[in-house]
A and B are shown apart, each in its own frame.
Chain A
Amino acid sequence: MYSIDSRSAVPVYEQLKRQIIIHIVSGVLNDGEKLPSIRELASAILINPNTVAKTYRHLETDGFVTSRKGLGVFVSASGRELQSNRTEIFKELTDEYVSKAAGLGLNADEIMKGLSERLKGEIEHDKNE
C-alpha cells in the first residue's frame, strides 16, 4: 500500500505518483492492471480525493496509465518506457543517497569506498552464479 510522509516538502500528489511509478516499474503492478478507484485510494490513506485525481492525471500525461471512461484507470507501460523509467528512478535514489552521505560530512572517496564494501559480497555472489 501507499504511504505519505507528512514531514516531506514533496507534495502529496507527487509522493503518491512516485510510489505508483515504482510499483509499475518493479512489476508490483502489471501491465493492464486496474488501479484503485479515486474513492478507494483516497479513503484508504485519508487524503483529499482531488489529490488522487491529480496523481492519476499526471500518471496519464506521462503515459504510465490510461483511464477508460466508466471503467477506471489501468497500467499502460510499454517495455521501452520501463527501462528508461528504471534508470530515472535509480538516478533519483543515487542523488538522495549521495546527498545524505555528504550531509554526514563524507567526501566522494569515502562514499565510493562505503558503496563498494557494501556491494563486495554481492558482486562475488553474482560472479559465482
Chain B
Amino acid sequence: MIRMSDISFAYGSTKILKDFNLELKAGEAVMITGPNGMGKSTILRLLAGVLIPQSGEIDHGYTEGTDPRQKTAFLPDSLSIYKSMTPLEAAKFHAGIFGTKQSRLKLAKKAGIDVNRHIYELSIGQQVIVHMSIILSTNPELILIDEVLHSVDPYLRDILFRELIEVMEEKSPTVVMVNLNFHDIEHLADRVIFLGRDGIRLDESVDELKAKTRRIIAEEIPPEYHVLLTENVIGKKHHIVYPFERKYGEIADENIREMDLTEIMTAFMGGEYGVS
C-alpha cells in the first residue's frame, strides 16, 4: 500500500495540489485523467520521488532507508535525459545511478531499434520504447507512466503493452498511468481517477463506473437524474448520466446506451469545463 497524505505542492506561487490524499493498493492498475494543469504529472513525479512536497507525507510502505527510486519505474512526460547516449550506454548509466540491474533492452530489440545509435537520432516513439525498455527491466514495485504513449505508433504500442502486461503478470507491481486517450488501454486499468479543479472528482473501479454511467437520448429527462453533460448529436439531445439507476420515470430501453471509458471520461471532462 502506498499512501499520499495531506500533500500540498506548488511551483513558485502556482498551487498545484492542496491537501491531496491518495491510497494505492499493491498490484492495482490505476489511470489518472482530467483536464490539463490539474496536477496529474505532478502526482507521478511526487510518487517517483523526483519532486518533494512542501507539506504532507508519502509512505511507499518500504522498509526504513529504502530509496523509492530504486523500486520505481518512471516514464516522465519529457524524455530529455540520456539523449546524447546510445540505448546501451543509457541502460548502463541508469543501472549505475539507481543501483538496479542493467537492462538487456529486450523491448527495444523486439521493436527493431538499433541499440548502438544515439537516442537523439531515434524517433520520439522509439525513444519512449527505449526508455520503457530500461525502466521495466529493473524489477519495479511501482510503475509510473506519464502521457507519452500517444507518440508511439500502434504497432510499437502493442509491443510495449505486451511487455508491460508480462511484467504485471510476473511481478504484480502497482501501476499508475496518466492518460487522456483510453482507446487501446482501457482494459488494463482496474481503477480510474478523474482529477478536476477541486481535486479528485471521481475515484472508482472501471467495472463500477461502466455499470453506473449511461447515455440517454431524450428531449427531457426526469430531474432526479444527475446529468454530467448534455450534448446535441445530429439534432437529438444526449444526456450523460452518472450515477444511473433504473428507478425514476420511464425511459425506453433503446434510448439508454452503455458507454466506453473514453466516452465517459470525455463527458466528465466536458462537465469540468462547464460545457453544455
Residues on A lying within 8 angstroms of B by beta carbon are 4, 6-9, 11-12, 38-39, 42-43, 45-51, 99, 102-104
Q: Mark B62-90, 1 if CB is under 8 A from A, else 0.
A: 00000000000000000000000000000
Q: Which residue from chain A places its CB closest to the CB of B259 in the assembled complex?
A: A7
B25 vs chain A, min Cβ distance (A): 11
B187-202 near A? 1/0 per residue, CB < 8 Å: 1111000000000000
| Inter-subunit contact B258/A49 (CB<8 Å) | no
Min C-beta distance of B96 to chain A, whole Å: 31
A42-B165, A43-B165 known; A8 vs B258 contact (CB < 8 Å):
yes
Q: Is B184 an interface residue (CB 8 A)?
A: yes
Assembly CA distance A11 to B170 (angstroms) = 23
Please give, as numbers and ranges, the residues of chain A lying within 8 Å of B162 by CB-CB distance. Answer: 43, 46
* B170, B184, B253: the one within 8 Å of A99 (CB): B253
CB proximity to A under 8 Å, residues B154-179: 158, 161-162, 165-166, 168-170
Q: How far is the CA of A11 from the CA of B207 in the complex (A)?
A: 5
Q: Known: A11-B207, A43-B162. Contact between A4 and B253, CB under 8 A?
A: no
B169 and A39 contact, CB distance less than 8 A: yes
B111 at the interface (CB under 8 A from A): no
Interfacial chain A residues near B261, Cβ < 8 Å: 6
Q: A6-B260, A9-B210, A11-B210 are in contact. Are A48 and B253 (CB under 8 A)?
A: no
B270, CB-defined interface residue at 8 Å: no
- Bound Cα distance from A113 to B213, whole angstroms: 35
B233 within 8 A of A: no
Contact check, A46 vs B254: say whether CB atoms are below 8 A apart: no
User: B186: nearest residue on chain A (CB-CB)?
Assistant: A6
Query: How far is it, in angstroms, between the C-alpha of A91 and the C-alpha of B208 when the chains are bound?
Result: 26
Task: Tell me the complex Cα distance, A19–B6, Å.
Answer: 45
Asked if B158 and A46 sit within 8 Å, CB to CB, the answer is: yes
Given the complex of chains A and B, what is the CA–CA distance between A38 and B170 in angstroms?
10
Jot down 9 A-B pairs with beta carbons below 8 A, ordered by A: A6-B186, A7-B260, A39-B165, A39-B170, A43-B161, A46-B158, A46-B162, A48-B189, A50-B168
B residues less than 8 Å from A43 (CB atoms)? 161-162, 165-166
Q: List 6 extra interface pairs beyond A7-B257, A46-B187, A49-B165, CB under 8 A.
A: A9-B213, A11-B210, A42-B169, A43-B166, A47-B187, A48-B190
Distance in angstroms between the alpha carbons of A4 and B166 in the assembled complex: 19
> Taking the complex as formed, is B27 at the interface, i.e. its CB lies under 8 A from any CB of chain A?
yes
B residues near A12, Cβ cutoff 8 Å: 187, 207
Chain A residues with Cβ below 8 Å from B258 are 7-9
Contacting pair A103 B252 (CB below 8 A): yes
CA distance A4 to B261 in the complex (A): 13
What are the nearest 5 A-B pairs in CB distance? Answer: A103-B254, A49-B169, A47-B187, A6-B260, A11-B207
Q: Judging by beta carbons under 8 Å apart, are B186 and A48 in contact?
A: no
Q: Enumerate chain A residues within 8 angstroms of B253, measured Cβ to Cβ.
A: 99, 102-103
**Is there an interface contact between A51 and B187, defined as CB atoms closer than 8 Å?**
yes
Query: Is B185 interfacial (CB-CB < 8 Å)?
Result: yes
| Residues from chain B with Cβ under 8 Å of A9 in the complex | 210-211, 213-214, 258-259
Pick the most buried of A8, A9, A42: most chain B CB atoms within 10 A of its CB.
A9
**B217 close to chain A: CB less than 8 A:** no
Task: Report Cα–Cα, A8/B261, bound state, in Å.
Answer: 10
A104 touching B254 by the CB < 8 A rule?
yes
Is B29 part of the contact surface with A, judged by Cβ < 8 Å? yes
Known: A7-B258, A103-B253. A49 touches B168 (CB 8 A): yes
